[in-house]
Structure 1
Amino acid sequence: MKSSKSLIAAIVLATASLGAGVAKAQVIVTPDQALDLVGTSAFFGDAFDVNLRGNTFSENFTFSVTGIPANLDAIVSSISRTAATGLDITGLGLFSSTGRQVALGSSQSTGAIDIWTVTSDNLALGSYYLQVSGNLVSNTSGAFGGAMMLAPVPEPGAYGMMLAGLGVVGYIGLRRRKQK
């Protein structure tokens, strides 16, 4: 009887210790942030508190293309003393409001200074979001910041006018050359 009580106690202790194993990383969830466009440009970013080492984040920054289609250029960066402190940006992407990936960003620099960029041409009218993802690599605080700009897509008529203008300039130059 005594050995069966010991066996039961050992099983209970072993079962309880399974749940107390390794602490798992948390995903830091924040609500989507609407970008405050100044004209067609905006700044965005976020900061994280201390003691969050091992946690990951994925931040969405929403905006809309209105009026005419646009080209997008965006950059995001973070800086720290070393690659082992602060945070590490692991992704930057552009998505439609339905979650469809429109463009995937690329890393320009990694380590103590992380820099990511993303570009997309001919964005149709509608709602989009930039998504910045990464992880916190130390218990110090960390932050990232970025900027984006929308530029109107030139209409085909603008290219025709530009070519016509170049033709006129070329004709004038040719005419002056013949007069000399």
Structure 2
Amino acid sequence: MKKTKSLVAAFVFATASLGSGVALAQADISQPPEALTLLDGSGFFGDSFAMDNMGDTFSDHFTFSVTELPHNIDAIISSISSSASTGLDITGLSVYSEAGTLIANGTSLMTGMNDVWTLSTDNLALGNYYLQVSGAMVSDTSGSFGGAVMLVPVPEPETYGMMLAGLGLVGWMARRRQKTAA
């Protein structure tokens, strides 16, 4: 029984030692949340990281608001390095509500020397949101990423109704003119 306790104690100590080593090797180098500056619904965002951060991770937030009509959002980000083993690696692009509820995940189009991610989602309701860009530094060189976002208002259902009514009226008038000409 004493050997079992000693073995368990040794295992716990070894696990704790390994866990603390991993915690020291990686740091969170995320920047504080930053408000997106949107001009007519579009804007640019990004971040740069200093040298000597190999293995560190980041999860940067870029905040924005939908204040009038529901909006569709489209975003793209990229990072460029001299090789796949330098700079940073983007591991995610997502949009969240202010409360932290995931709305949509982006899609990786390219990884390696060039990382490219896109995100597209429809009908964001009125409220506050943030884009989250996640990644890790893969070397001790500096790295950066940049992106663009576009918010496009979604027409209200009444707009579609008016458009359909107008098309119906134009069709009716064209048919009436055909009958008159015949």
TM over 0.5: yes
Q: Deviation at 1:96?
A: 0.8
Which position in structure 1 is the counterpart of 2:120? 119
Looking at CA atoms only, which structure, 1 or 2, has the larger radius of gyration? 1
Letter in 2 for 1:161: M
Which position in structure 1 is the counterpart of 2:38? 37
Which range moves more in the overlay, 108-117 or 166-175?
166-175
Letter in 2 for 1:78: S
Distance 2:21 2:126 in 1: 50
User: Secondary structure of 2:129's match?
Assistant: strand
Which residues in structure 2 correspond to 1:1-180 (within 5 Å)? 24-175=25-176, 179=181
Q: Deviation at 1:94?
A: 0.5
Taking structure 1 as the reference length, the TM-score comes to 0.81
User: Secondary structure of 1:53's match?
Assistant: coil
Letter in 2 for 1:125: L
Distance 1:111 1:21 in 2: 27
Q: CA 1:21–1:32 in structure 2 vs 1: closer, same or farther (change >3 Å)? A: closer
Distance 2:133 2:58 in 1: 8
Letter in 2 for 1:167: G
User: Secondary structure of 2:40's match?
Assistant: coil
User: Secondary structure of 2:131's match?
Assistant: strand
Which range moves more in the overlay, 149-158 or 162-171?
162-171
Distance 1:71 1:134 in 2: 25
Distance 2:108 2:130 in 1: 19
User: Secondary structure of 1:170's match?
Assistant: helix
CA RMSD of aligned residues (A): 2.3
Aligned length: 164
> What do residues 18-37 of structure 1 show as CA deviations (whole Å, max 9, x unaligned)?
69967512111321011111
Q: Deviation at 1:81?
A: 2.1
User: Secondary structure of 1:158's match?
Assistant: helix
Distance 1:177 1:145 in 2: 57
Q: Deviation at 1:43?
A: 0.7
Distance 2:99 2:156 in 1: 27
Distance 2:174 2:52 in 1: 69
User: Secondary structure of 1:28's match?
Assistant: coil
Identity %: 58
Distance 2:114 2:169 in 1: 49
Distance 1:28 1:115 in 2: 21
Q: Which runs of 5+ in 1 are unaligned?
A: 1-17
